[in-house]
Amino acid sequence: MSETHRATFHRTVPVEGVEMFYREAGDPARPAIVLLPGHPSSSHAYTGLIDRLAGRWHVLAPDYPGYGFSAVPGGAVSFDRLAELTSGLLEQLGVERYVLYMFDFGAPVGMRMATSHPERIAGLVSQNGNIALEGLGEPLGPLAEWWGDRAAHQATVEQFLSAESTRMQWAAGLRDVAAPDPALVAVDVALLADPARRAIAESLLWDYQTNPALYPHWQGWLGEHRPPTLAVWGARDPFFTSAGAEAYRTANPDAEIVLLDTGHFALVEELEAVAEAVHGLLARAYA
Protein backbone atom coordinates (compact mmCIF):
# COMPACT_ATOMS: atom_id res chain seq x y z
CA MET A 1 0.00 0.00 0.00
CA SER A 2 1.06 3.58 -0.57
CA GLU A 3 2.39 5.53 2.36
CA THR A 4 0.25 8.47 3.46
CA HIS A 5 1.27 11.90 4.68
CA ARG A 6 -1.42 14.48 5.35
CA ALA A 7 0.60 17.64 6.11
CA THR A 8 -0.09 19.65 2.94
CA PHE A 9 0.73 23.36 2.89
CA HIS A 10 -1.19 25.89 0.79
CA ARG A 11 0.72 28.95 -0.39
CA THR A 12 0.46 31.81 -2.85
CA VAL A 13 3.49 33.59 -4.32
CA PRO A 14 3.85 36.26 -7.02
CA VAL A 15 5.42 35.04 -10.28
CA GLU A 16 6.00 37.76 -12.85
CA GLY A 17 3.21 39.77 -11.31
CA VAL A 18 0.71 36.88 -11.15
CA GLU A 19 -0.30 35.50 -7.76
CA MET A 20 0.08 31.72 -8.15
CA PHE A 21 -1.36 29.26 -5.65
CA TYR A 22 0.24 25.88 -5.05
CA ARG A 23 0.00 22.90 -2.71
CA GLU A 24 3.15 21.39 -1.23
CA ALA A 25 3.73 18.30 0.88
CA GLY A 26 6.58 16.02 1.84
CA ASP A 27 10.20 16.71 2.69
CA PRO A 28 11.72 19.37 0.36
CA ALA A 29 15.06 17.56 0.64
CA ARG A 30 13.57 14.54 -1.16
CA PRO A 31 13.20 14.16 -4.95
CA ALA A 32 10.36 16.18 -6.41
CA ILE A 33 7.25 15.48 -8.42
CA VAL A 34 5.16 18.32 -9.86
CA LEU A 35 1.46 17.61 -10.49
CA LEU A 36 0.14 19.61 -13.45
CA PRO A 37 -3.68 19.82 -13.45
CA GLY A 38 -6.13 19.74 -16.32
CA HIS A 39 -9.26 21.55 -17.40
CA PRO A 40 -11.79 22.16 -15.91
CA SER A 41 -10.09 21.60 -12.57
CA SER A 42 -7.00 22.55 -10.59
CA SER A 43 -4.70 21.20 -7.88
CA HIS A 44 -7.61 20.31 -5.59
CA ALA A 45 -8.22 17.27 -7.81
CA TYR A 46 -4.87 15.92 -6.57
CA THR A 47 -5.49 15.93 -2.83
CA GLY A 48 -5.72 12.13 -2.62
CA LEU A 49 -2.64 11.58 -4.77
CA ILE A 50 -0.65 14.15 -2.79
CA ASP A 51 -1.55 12.28 0.38
CA ARG A 52 -0.25 9.00 -1.07
CA LEU A 53 2.99 10.37 -2.51
CA ALA A 54 4.18 12.82 0.12
CA GLY A 55 5.42 10.22 2.60
CA ARG A 56 8.32 9.43 0.25
CA TRP A 57 8.61 12.37 -2.15
CA HIS A 58 8.49 16.17 -2.31
CA VAL A 59 5.15 16.94 -3.99
CA LEU A 60 4.09 20.25 -5.54
CA ALA A 61 0.81 20.99 -7.31
CA PRO A 62 0.30 24.48 -8.77
CA ASP A 63 -2.88 26.13 -10.00
CA TYR A 64 -2.59 27.77 -13.41
CA PRO A 65 -3.37 31.49 -13.62
CA GLY A 66 -7.14 31.87 -13.82
CA TYR A 67 -7.76 28.39 -12.41
CA GLY A 68 -8.26 27.17 -8.85
CA PHE A 69 -6.99 29.69 -6.33
CA SER A 70 -4.45 31.45 -8.54
CA ALA A 71 -5.20 35.01 -9.60
CA VAL A 72 -6.72 35.97 -12.92
CA PRO A 73 -4.04 37.66 -15.05
CA GLY A 74 -4.83 40.48 -17.42
CA GLY A 75 -5.40 39.57 -21.04
CA ALA A 76 -5.45 36.24 -22.83
CA VAL A 77 -3.41 33.30 -21.55
CA SER A 78 -1.65 30.77 -23.79
CA PHE A 79 -0.08 27.38 -23.15
CA ASP A 80 3.31 29.00 -23.74
CA ARG A 81 2.53 31.43 -20.92
CA LEU A 82 1.33 28.69 -18.58
CA ALA A 83 4.59 26.81 -19.12
CA GLU A 84 6.66 29.95 -18.52
CA LEU A 85 4.83 30.83 -15.30
CA THR A 86 4.87 27.27 -13.96
CA SER A 87 8.61 27.01 -14.67
CA GLY A 88 9.07 30.40 -13.05
CA LEU A 89 7.22 29.26 -9.92
CA LEU A 90 9.49 26.21 -9.58
CA GLU A 91 12.59 28.35 -10.13
CA GLN A 92 11.42 30.74 -7.43
CA LEU A 93 10.88 27.81 -5.06
CA GLY A 94 14.37 26.47 -5.80
CA VAL A 95 13.08 23.19 -7.28
CA GLU A 96 15.72 22.47 -9.93
CA ARG A 97 14.88 18.91 -11.03
CA TYR A 98 11.58 17.09 -10.99
CA VAL A 99 9.28 14.48 -12.44
CA LEU A 100 6.26 16.00 -14.18
CA TYR A 101 2.81 14.41 -13.75
CA MET A 102 0.71 15.65 -16.67
CA PHE A 103 -3.08 15.36 -16.81
CA ASP A 104 -5.20 16.77 -19.67
CA PHE A 105 -4.00 20.40 -20.13
CA GLY A 106 -0.93 19.33 -18.15
CA ALA A 107 0.50 17.54 -21.19
CA PRO A 108 0.90 20.63 -23.42
CA VAL A 109 2.12 22.62 -20.42
CA GLY A 110 4.55 19.92 -19.29
CA MET A 111 5.93 19.12 -22.73
CA ARG A 112 6.66 22.80 -23.30
CA MET A 113 8.50 22.84 -19.97
CA ALA A 114 10.39 19.66 -20.83
CA THR A 115 11.52 20.71 -24.28
CA SER A 116 12.57 24.16 -23.03
CA HIS A 117 14.53 22.81 -20.04
CA PRO A 118 15.37 19.12 -20.58
CA GLU A 119 18.04 19.25 -17.88
CA ARG A 120 15.31 19.75 -15.26
CA ILE A 121 13.25 16.69 -16.20
CA ALA A 122 13.92 13.55 -14.16
CA GLY A 123 10.93 11.72 -15.66
CA LEU A 124 7.41 12.06 -17.02
CA VAL A 125 4.04 10.67 -16.00
CA SER A 126 1.11 11.18 -18.35
CA GLN A 127 -2.32 10.45 -16.94
CA ASN A 128 -4.69 10.99 -19.87
CA GLY A 129 -2.47 13.79 -21.15
CA ASN A 130 -2.36 13.56 -24.92
CA ILE A 131 0.57 14.24 -27.31
CA ALA A 132 -0.57 12.38 -30.45
CA LEU A 133 -3.25 12.88 -33.11
CA GLU A 134 -4.40 9.29 -32.72
CA GLY A 135 -5.27 10.00 -29.08
CA LEU A 136 -7.83 12.72 -29.85
CA GLY A 137 -11.35 11.44 -29.22
CA GLU A 138 -14.55 12.26 -31.09
CA PRO A 139 -15.99 14.61 -28.42
CA LEU A 140 -13.23 17.11 -29.28
CA GLY A 141 -14.50 17.40 -32.87
CA PRO A 142 -16.80 20.37 -32.15
CA LEU A 143 -13.83 22.32 -30.77
CA ALA A 144 -12.04 21.80 -34.09
CA GLU A 145 -15.07 23.28 -35.86
CA TRP A 146 -14.88 26.28 -33.49
CA TRP A 147 -11.20 26.73 -34.34
CA GLY A 148 -12.17 26.80 -38.01
CA ASP A 149 -14.83 29.50 -37.57
CA ARG A 150 -14.85 31.07 -34.14
CA ALA A 151 -17.88 33.32 -34.63
CA ALA A 152 -20.07 30.67 -36.24
CA HIS A 153 -19.40 28.08 -33.53
CA GLN A 154 -19.16 30.27 -30.42
CA ALA A 155 -22.04 28.35 -28.88
CA THR A 156 -19.81 25.27 -28.90
CA VAL A 157 -17.31 26.68 -26.43
CA GLU A 158 -20.06 28.24 -24.33
CA GLN A 159 -21.55 24.77 -23.94
CA PHE A 160 -18.11 23.28 -23.24
CA LEU A 161 -17.63 25.73 -20.36
CA SER A 162 -21.11 25.26 -18.93
CA ALA A 163 -21.81 23.76 -15.52
CA GLU A 164 -23.40 20.76 -17.24
CA SER A 165 -20.26 20.12 -19.30
CA THR A 166 -17.98 20.50 -16.28
CA ARG A 167 -19.96 17.83 -14.45
CA MET A 168 -19.88 15.65 -17.57
CA GLN A 169 -16.10 15.93 -17.91
CA TRP A 170 -15.57 14.80 -14.33
CA ALA A 171 -17.80 11.75 -14.95
CA ALA A 172 -16.65 10.97 -18.50
CA GLY A 173 -15.84 7.29 -18.90
CA LEU A 174 -16.12 6.39 -15.22
CA ARG A 175 -17.66 3.03 -14.34
CA ASP A 176 -19.83 4.90 -11.81
CA VAL A 177 -20.74 8.37 -13.07
CA ALA A 178 -21.76 9.34 -9.52
CA ALA A 179 -18.27 8.62 -8.18
CA PRO A 180 -16.70 12.13 -8.34
CA ASP A 181 -16.70 14.05 -5.07
CA PRO A 182 -19.53 16.59 -5.55
CA ALA A 183 -17.60 19.16 -3.52
CA LEU A 184 -14.69 19.08 -5.97
CA VAL A 185 -17.00 19.34 -8.95
CA ALA A 186 -18.91 22.19 -7.32
CA VAL A 187 -15.70 24.20 -6.87
CA ASP A 188 -14.93 23.91 -10.58
CA VAL A 189 -18.48 24.83 -11.55
CA ALA A 190 -18.41 27.88 -9.27
CA LEU A 191 -15.02 29.09 -10.51
CA LEU A 192 -15.99 28.79 -14.17
CA ALA A 193 -19.13 30.79 -13.44
CA ASP A 194 -16.89 33.80 -12.87
CA PRO A 195 -16.69 35.72 -16.18
CA ALA A 196 -12.99 36.53 -15.81
CA ARG A 197 -12.02 32.91 -15.13
CA ARG A 198 -14.32 31.72 -17.88
CA ALA A 199 -12.53 34.06 -20.31
CA ILE A 200 -9.17 32.53 -19.34
CA ALA A 201 -10.54 29.04 -19.96
CA GLU A 202 -11.85 30.11 -23.35
CA SER A 203 -8.47 31.60 -24.23
CA LEU A 204 -6.80 28.29 -23.47
CA LEU A 205 -9.36 26.24 -25.37
CA TRP A 206 -8.73 28.52 -28.36
CA ASP A 207 -4.98 28.16 -27.96
CA TYR A 208 -5.27 24.38 -27.71
CA GLN A 209 -5.22 24.29 -31.51
CA THR A 210 -1.50 25.11 -31.34
CA ASN A 211 -0.76 21.78 -29.67
CA PRO A 212 -1.29 19.20 -32.44
CA ALA A 213 1.32 20.93 -34.61
CA LEU A 214 3.81 20.40 -31.79
CA TYR A 215 3.07 16.69 -31.33
CA PRO A 216 5.87 15.53 -33.69
CA HIS A 217 8.35 17.78 -31.86
CA TRP A 218 7.33 16.41 -28.45
CA GLN A 219 7.44 12.84 -29.69
CA GLY A 220 10.89 13.45 -31.19
CA TRP A 221 12.08 14.88 -27.89
CA LEU A 222 10.86 11.78 -26.05
CA GLY A 223 12.68 9.55 -28.52
CA GLU A 224 15.89 11.54 -28.24
CA HIS A 225 16.02 12.04 -24.47
CA ARG A 226 14.13 8.91 -23.34
CA PRO A 227 13.35 10.09 -19.80
CA PRO A 228 11.76 7.50 -17.52
CA THR A 229 8.17 7.66 -18.76
CA LEU A 230 4.87 6.28 -17.51
CA ALA A 231 1.54 6.62 -19.33
CA VAL A 232 -1.12 5.58 -16.80
CA TRP A 233 -4.44 5.97 -18.52
CA GLY A 234 -8.14 5.72 -17.94
CA ALA A 235 -8.86 3.58 -21.00
CA ARG A 236 -12.55 4.55 -21.09
CA ASP A 237 -11.71 8.25 -21.59
CA PRO A 238 -13.74 9.60 -24.55
CA PHE A 239 -11.60 12.73 -24.88
CA PHE A 240 -8.12 11.21 -24.98
CA THR A 241 -8.28 7.57 -26.01
CA SER A 242 -5.90 4.80 -25.01
CA ALA A 243 -4.16 5.20 -28.39
CA GLY A 244 -2.72 8.35 -26.84
CA ALA A 245 -1.12 6.26 -24.11
CA GLU A 246 0.41 3.86 -26.62
CA ALA A 247 1.88 6.84 -28.50
CA TYR A 248 4.27 7.43 -25.59
CA ARG A 249 5.78 3.99 -26.12
CA THR A 250 5.95 4.54 -29.88
CA ALA A 251 7.98 7.69 -29.21
CA ASN A 252 9.99 6.23 -26.33
CA PRO A 253 10.24 2.41 -26.46
CA ASP A 254 11.27 2.39 -22.80
CA ALA A 255 7.95 3.93 -21.68
CA GLU A 256 5.66 1.94 -19.38
CA ILE A 257 1.97 1.83 -20.29
CA VAL A 258 -0.73 1.10 -17.68
CA LEU A 259 -4.33 1.04 -18.91
CA LEU A 260 -7.04 1.20 -16.26
CA ASP A 261 -10.74 0.42 -16.50
CA THR A 262 -11.89 3.95 -15.79
CA GLY A 263 -12.35 7.33 -17.45
CA HIS A 264 -10.82 10.77 -17.92
CA PHE A 265 -10.50 11.67 -14.22
CA ALA A 266 -8.86 8.31 -13.49
CA LEU A 267 -7.96 9.24 -9.91
CA VAL A 268 -11.65 9.19 -8.97
CA GLU A 269 -11.89 5.40 -9.30
CA GLU A 270 -8.28 4.20 -9.54
CA LEU A 271 -6.36 6.36 -7.08
CA GLU A 272 -4.50 3.47 -5.46
CA ALA A 273 -3.47 1.92 -8.78
CA VAL A 274 -2.25 5.26 -10.12
CA ALA A 275 -0.34 6.02 -6.92
CA GLU A 276 1.43 2.65 -7.00
CA ALA A 277 2.42 3.11 -10.64
CA VAL A 278 3.71 6.62 -9.93
CA HIS A 279 5.75 5.39 -6.95
CA GLY A 280 7.37 2.90 -9.30
CA LEU A 281 8.17 5.53 -11.90
CA LEU A 282 9.64 7.85 -9.26
CA ALA A 283 11.85 5.07 -7.91
CA ARG A 284 13.19 4.43 -11.43
CA ALA A 285 13.63 8.12 -12.21
CA TYR A 286 15.62 8.81 -9.06
CA ALA A 287 17.53 5.54 -8.82
Give residue-wise pLDDT tens across range 178-228.
Answer: 999 999 999 999 999 999 999 999 999 999 999 999 999 999 999 999 999
The average pLDDT across 31-58 equals: 97
Q: Is residue 157 part of a domain?
A: yes
Question: Which of 43, 62, 13 lies closest to 187, judged by CA?
Answer: 43
Which residues are part of the catalytic machinery?
Answer: 264
Task: State whether residue 35 is helix, strand or coil.
Answer: strand
Q: What residue numbers bound the domain in which 150 lies?
A: 8-285
Q: What is the pLDDT of residues 94-144, one digit of tens each?
A: 999 999 999 999 999 999 999 999 999 999 999 999 999 999 999 999 999
Q: How sure is the predictor about 76, in pLDDT bands with cuts at 50, 70 and 90?
A: confident
Higher pLDDT, 3 or 55: 55
Q: How sure is the predictor about 4, in pLDDT bands with cuts at 50, 70 and 90?
A: low
Q: Is residue 49 part of a domain?
A: yes
Q: How sure is the predictor about 5, in pLDDT bands with cuts at 50, 70 and 90?
A: low
Q: Is the per-residue pLDDT at 91 higher than 80?
A: yes
Distances (CA, A) of 145 to 48, 134, 140, 149, 166: 36, 18, 9, 6, 20
Q: Is residue 207 part of a domain?
A: yes
CATH assignment of the domain containing 171: 3.40.50.1820
197 forms bridges with which residues in the sheet?
Answer: none
Q: Is residue 2 part of a domain?
A: no
